[in-house]
Structure 1
């Protein structure tokens, strides 16, 4: 029996890796071990509970005001001990977090094969997103298996010299997650608050937007709310105090926006399914929203998900106040533009990514 260790540490990783863990559990060919780093805490445990996945190990590294140095050193040291004990045949990591980078580096040092889920996403700008672009490129160097969500991601890996027989286009596991979380009969008190209005779901948290860019994003959104009384925004706000202080400074007690605590994955997916459109600088939401037919304004200057932009369901609008205001306003007033974005095709797969990944591992490990 082959031993497969799945490692993740943040809420976005958990959303995309828990369906893969559950698919691995179905296969008697594998002994599956789940290891959390605890890079996130409350937000991470919400997702685990939702998918009914339990951890075999938890490094629980999260500390107040942790830096990238703290995260990387703690994970690298902690993973060394676990990998020495378990000696897995394969370590699976996801995407572009510090958990992903440090775990892949630890496995590389111990000569344990690494499988990279959501491989090949690139902006080729190490400052945006920061530090994620470095993390995913570095993991790509160490990985033996590259599970790319799209052919665009595959082409990126081929241009970088990755062997063709190590790259597999599977779609994105987040589409698998959505298939289990959307509820037709879903209700929530905040959705009742927004009833009769046009609901907009927003997430903003990127490090590269801290400071003036984030103030500009929020000011642009506030101008739209001041102009359109029938629009309400729900903002599940990140735990980072920098984000919270900025949002409170701009929005204050504005009656058309709800700053709420982070939602669990089931709630978030169903809020998104109810919303008219999405404002975000998140990566995963750029994949989730297209599968639900929701237009997305990407509040960043670059995106590693150009497939969504090419398909027409994402629009890259940057962080400048005037552009955010104009593009947000346009989607509220230009029905043809809205319909064009909401009916664009989803480029991120058919919800079978986890099954494909497990079959590839069975066939090749």
Structure 2
């Protein structure tokens, strides 16, 4: 039976790769699952693995003293090389461009094991080991590339994890996710956004805004000043990956300052208003279901109102095709790398 080492590092990567692991088991391959020891995200990782009934075969510990980068890298490389030899790995599958992905690819390359690297959509560069240069660094080690989609993960998460909010009926409300991930001390940006939210909720009673954000002094000050008494606005703690994906399946619109949610929104045919700022300056106006607008009260309000009153316009944006290349099915992806 062919052994395939599956290496991933974060709960976000686990959401993509666990459906592949499940399918490999059904196809009578033996996945050898390797993850590094989790610290900050241990609880979330456990939930994701349990959701897909995946158990790690090896957990790479990095509890070394002193923890210099040289020592950690050497330790990880030696451990991964040992696992590749001991398990008699036939092929390695790494997710993303993090340090563990690079070291797993290097250990496999040194032992003559072919490596497939999975690309994971928008926002990948931010988590890369060496930023944009990672692609060139990994290139000599990787024999195959695939694109990991989120369709299966979204289906699985939709009915399992719903953030606890006092919303009576998701089906009759238009829920807008205000997903701002910039600095919470940006007074002007937050003030304009909150003013637009107030204007919309004053007029359209079917609209509910969910704002997952850290409640800093500034956020609390502006919320009390602009949105106090607005029963259609809910501030909640930042969502983890399971809560976020589950919530996206129930949202009507997303307002954001980044591109990380676009892949999910494209699958769900959910319009996204991308508010232009330092994180996405000089962006294209349209990106599939995403539309770049200015961070201004007038433009935010005008766009939301048009989407509310013109269902045809809403559907037009929701059905705009993605500019990305077609994502392979899990079966197509497996077929492309198990033969290597």
TM-score normalised according to structure 2 size? 0.73
Distance in 2 (alpha carbons) for counterparts of 1:78 and 1:197 = 50
User: Any stretches of 5+ residues in structure 1 without a counterpart?
Assistant: 150-171, 238-243
2:84 matched to 1:86?
yes
Asked whether the equivalents of residues 120 and 146 of structure 1 are also in contact (C-alpha less than 8 Å), the reply is no
Distance in 2 (alpha carbons) for counterparts of 1:62 and 1:279 = 40
Distance in 1 (alpha carbons) for counterparts of 2:127 and 2:15 = 23
Residue-pair matches, total: 312
The match for 1:313 among 276, 289, 309 is: 289
Matched residue SS, 1:192: coil
Distance in 2 (alpha carbons) for counterparts of 1:85 and 1:263 = 31
Asked whether the equivalents of residues 97 and 132 of structure 1 are also in contact (C-alpha less than 8 Å), the reply is no
Structure-to-structure mapping, 1:196-215, within 5 angstroms: 198-205=174-181, 209-210=182-183
Asked whether the equivalents of residues 9 and 44 of structure 1 are also in contact (C-alpha less than 8 Å), the reply is no
2:200 matched to 1:228?
yes
Deviation sequence 1:22-65 (CA, Å, 0-9, x none) = 1111122x3211111245323322211222211112235599xx
Matched residue SS, 1:173: coil
RMSD: 4.1
Q: Which has the larger radius of gyration?
A: 2
TM-score normalised according to structure 1 size? 0.68
Structure-to-structure mapping, 1:1-365, within 5 angstroms: 1-28=1-28, 30-38=29-37, 40-59=41-60, 74=72, 77-87=75-85, 88-118=89-119, 132-147=131-146, 149=147, 172-183=148-159, 189-190=164-165, 192=167, 198-205=174-181, 209-210=182-183, 217-229=189-201, 230=205, 231-236=207-212, 244=214, 247-252=215-220, 254=223, 256-263=233-240, 265=242, 267-280=243-256, 285-298=261-274, 300-301=279-280, 309-310=286-287, 312-317=288-293, 323=295, 325-335=297-307, 336=310, 337-345=313-321, 353-362=329-338, 364-365=339-340
Asked whether the equivalents of residues 84 and 107 of structure 2 are also in contact (C-alpha less than 8 Å), the reply is no
* Counterpart position of 2:227: none
Q: 1:219 to 1:104 in 2, by over 3 A?
A: farther
Q: 1:85 to 1:119 in 2, by over 3 A?
A: same
Deviation sequence 1:199-235 (CA, Å, 0-9, x none) = 2224454xxx5576x6665444323223333554334
Distance in 1 (alpha carbons) for counterparts of 2:300 and 2:58 = 44
User: Any stretches of 5+ residues in structure 2 without a counterpart?
Assistant: 224-229
> What's the CA shift for 1:80?
3.0
Distance in 1 (alpha carbons) for counterparts of 2:16 and 2:50 = 14
Distance in 1 (alpha carbons) for counterparts of 2:245 and 2:217 = 28
Deviation sequence 1:286-345 (CA, Å, 0-9, x none) = 1111111111234541799x8x944x301245xxxx526455333311135533322323
Distance in 2 (alpha carbons) for counterparts of 1:105 and 1:227 = 55
Distance in 2 (alpha carbons) for counterparts of 1:101 and 1:215 = 40
* Counterpart position of 1:165: none
Asked whether the equivalents of residues 290 and 346 of structure 1 are also in contact (C-alpha less than 8 Å), the reply is yes
> What's the CA shift for 1:95?
2.5
